[in-house]
């Protein structure tokens, strides 16, 4: 008895799975941080962590970023808008608003200045095309990694990351296809401790 052929997975289903996996990874790190904090408090100490709220820009996506740092690294999530979409007539996939999430791993202490590696994912790019006389936009999900530096003071954390990301393949409204591609990524952020 043969199994029935599998239906092809839609682009939207792959997108939802990728977003879910990224958010699950960030949630897992937050839970691990909470478990480690409980262990520190059970030994009579206070777990050294810090939260930061500020602004960030990832290529053309700018918005508000929340970051939780600890001695190992940090986890962040950012929600904002794509800056380069002013004259779009129609959004075929996604919209002007996007998100980024990721993890930073530091060579030293995550609560002090130093170099770090970053894994990230989110709505990194917007592809625009002329279709039937209209400018149509397609939001593209991507993920990658990079190296950066963070400067930490008593109440401020500022940093940057240079990296590379791979964008998803998309199908356009007129049946065309925009293939997966690698893009350079530049991130800059600054946040105040809360």
Which pLDDT score is estimated for 194? 85
Length of the chain: 194
User: Is 56 contained in some domain?
Assistant: yes
User: Is 1 contained in some domain?
Assistant: no
* Domain enclosing residue 148, as ranges: 11-193
User: Is 2 contained in some domain?
Assistant: no
CATH number of the domain that 162 lies in? 2.40.160
Closest C-alpha among 162, 167, 165, 164 to residue 188: 162
Which pLDDT score is estimated for 179? 83
Q: What is the mean pLDDT of residues 165-187?
A: 85
The helix/strand/coil state of 39 is helix
Q: Please determine, for residue 109, whether its predicted confidence score (pLDDT) is greater than 60.
A: yes
Closest C-alpha among 25, 4, 7 to residue 122: 25
Angle, alpha carbons 165-186-86 (nearest 5°):
95
Closest C-alpha among 66, 71, 147 to residue 112: 71
Q: Please determine, for residue 192, whether its predicted confidence score (pLDDT) is greater than 70.
A: yes
Q: Please determine, for residue 101, whether its predicted confidence score (pLDDT) is greater than 80.
A: yes
User: Is 4 contained in some domain?
Assistant: no
Q: Please determine, for residue 106, whether its predicted confidence score (pLDDT) is greater than 60.
A: yes
Residue 19: φ, ψ to 5°: -65, -45
User: Is 119 contained in some domain?
Assistant: yes
Domain count, the chain: 1
Q: Contact 11/138 with Cβ under 8 angstroms?
A: no
Q: How many whole angstroms separate alpha carbon 31 and alpha carbon 62?
A: 27
Which pLDDT score is estimated for 158? 95
Question: What is the DSSP-derived secondary structure letter of residue 169?
Answer: P
187 vs 44, residue with greater confidence: 187
Q: What is the mean pLDDT of residues 34-51?
A: 66
User: Could you read off the pLDDT of 30-40 as tens digits, one per residue?
Assistant: 666 666 666 66
Q: Please determine, for residue 126, whether its predicted confidence score (pLDDT) is greater than 60.
A: yes
Distances, alpha carbon 158 to alpha carbons 88, 107, 111, 165, 191, in Å: 32, 17, 12, 22, 6
pTM: 0.75
The helix/strand/coil state of 174 is coil
**Between β-strands 97-106 and 73-82, what pairing exists: parallel, antiparallel or unpaired?**
antiparallel
What's the mean pLDDT when you consider all of the chain? 79
> Considering only 6-20, 23-37, 75-89, which range has the smallest mean pLDDT?
6-20
User: Is 126 contained in some domain?
Assistant: yes
User: Is 3 contained in some domain?
Assistant: no
The residues, ordered by sequence, that sit 6+ positions from 120 with a Cβ below 8 Å of its Cβ are 58, 100, 101, 102, 103, 143, 144, 145, 146, 161, 163, 165, 185, 187
């Amino acid at each position: 008895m043969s199994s029935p052929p599998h239906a092809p997975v839609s682009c939207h289903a792959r997108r939802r799975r990728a977003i879910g996996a990224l958010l699950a990874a960030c949630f897992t790190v937050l839970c691990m941080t909470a478990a480690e904090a409980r262990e520190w408090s059970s030994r009579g100490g206070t777990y050294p962590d810090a939260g930061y709220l500020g602004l960030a820009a990832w290529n053309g996506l700018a918005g508000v970023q929340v970051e939780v740092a600890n001695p190992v690294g940090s986890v962040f999530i950012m929600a904002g808008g794509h800056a380069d979409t002013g004259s779009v007539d129609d959004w075929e996939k996604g919209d002007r608003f996007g998100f980024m999430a990721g993890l930073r791993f530091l060579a030293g202490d995550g609560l002090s200045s130093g170099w770090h590696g970053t894994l990230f994912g989110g709505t990194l790019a917007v592809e625009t095309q002329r279709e039937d006389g209209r400018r149509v936009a397609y939001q593209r999900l991507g993920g990658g990694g990079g190296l950066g530096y963070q400067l930490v003071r008593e109440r401020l954390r500022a940093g940057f990351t240079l990296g590379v990301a791979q964008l998803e393949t998309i199908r356009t409204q007129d049946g065309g296809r925009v293939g997966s591609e690698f893009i350079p990524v530049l991130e800059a952020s600054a946040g105040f401790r809360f």
